[in-house]
Amino acid sequence: MLLRYKKTYEKIAMGLLSYMPGDKNAKKLQETIHRYETDDSWQLYLLKKEDDFIGLIGVELGDEDYTLFHISVNPSFRGEGVGKEMVAKLQALFPNKECKSTEETDLFIKKCQVKEEGAD
Ligand SMILES: CC(C)(COP(=O)(O)OP(=O)(O)OC[C@H]1O[C@@H](n2cnc3c(N)ncnc32)[C@H](O)[C@@H]1OP(=O)(O)O)[C@@H](O)C(=O)NCCC(=O)NCCS
């Protein structure tokens, strides 16, 4: 289940965000979370499976697209399709918007899209 971020998820969200390359120091993490809390066009979601939050995905929404800035999966659950599942769930939330990537998320998004195209 993909849940929209709220303040009570702050610690788990910061833990997951810290796996992103370049977002390691506490000040940068706080700034990132603050942006998601205060700017409506920045939306952060957590993936909950049973009782655990195992993944995080965060985007900046545009009028016709959204840009994937953050995606992270708890290391214990990697390689099981969780990242790809979050990308698909997000696309289902915004079916009329195109998914764009940053330099950091580009390779993974491309990998998800290639798989989708190849799935037919
Ligand atoms: C990147 C990340 C979110 C992938 O999550 P995951 O649940 O392990 O990914 P999935 O199991 O859904 O993988 C789907 C496919 O993407 C590939 N993949 C995994 N990580 C990748 C990466 N960083 N770049 C490109 N492809 C990647 C997998 O090998 C898999 O390919 P396959 O289907 O051919 O085997 C996870 O490794 C992570 O949290 N990394 C640390 C955070 C990070 O670096 N984020 C930025 C990079 S996007």
pLDDT, greater one: 77 or 115: 77
Per-residue model confidence as pLDDT tens digits over 43-102: 999 999 999 999 999 999 999 999 999 999 999 999 999 999 999 999 999 999 999 999
% of the chain with per-residue pLDDT over 70 = 94
User: In angstroms, what CA-CA distances link 117 with 33, 113, 114?
Assistant: 33, 6, 5
C-beta 84 within 6 A of ligand 1: yes
The residue whose CB lies within 8 Å of the most ligand 1 atoms, and thus the one to mutate among 84, 108, 113, is: 108
Instruction: Tell me the mean pLDDT in the region 101-115.
Output: 91
Task: Sketch the domain layout of the chain as residue ranges.
Answer: 2-118
Residue 15 falls in which region: left (phi positive, over 0), alpha (psi -120 to 50) or beta: alpha
The CB of 111 under 6 Å from ligand 1? The reply is: yes
According to DSSP, residue 25 is labeled S
| Separation of first and last alpha carbons in the chain | 25
Dig out the tokens for 40 from the structure: 């409506």
Cβ–Cβ under 8 Å, residues 29 and 10: no
Structure tokens that stand for 90 in this block? 């997000």
CATH architecture of 2-118: 3-Layer(aba) Sandwich (3.40)
| Residue 87 amino acid letter | V
pLDDT value at residue 113: 84
| Average pLDDT over all residues of the chain | 93
Contact 45, 3 (CB under 8 A): yes
The share of the chain scoring above pLDDT 90, in percent, equals 88
Cα–ligand 1 centroid distance for 79 (angstroms): 7
Tracing tokens 């965060």 back to the chain, one arrives at 58
Atom of ligand 1 nearest to the CA of 72: 39
Is ligand 1 within 6 A of the CB of residue 3?
no
How far apart, in whole angstroms, are the C-alpha atoms of residue 27 and residue 60?
20
The band of 24, judged by pLDDT with boundaries at 50, 70 and 90, is: confident
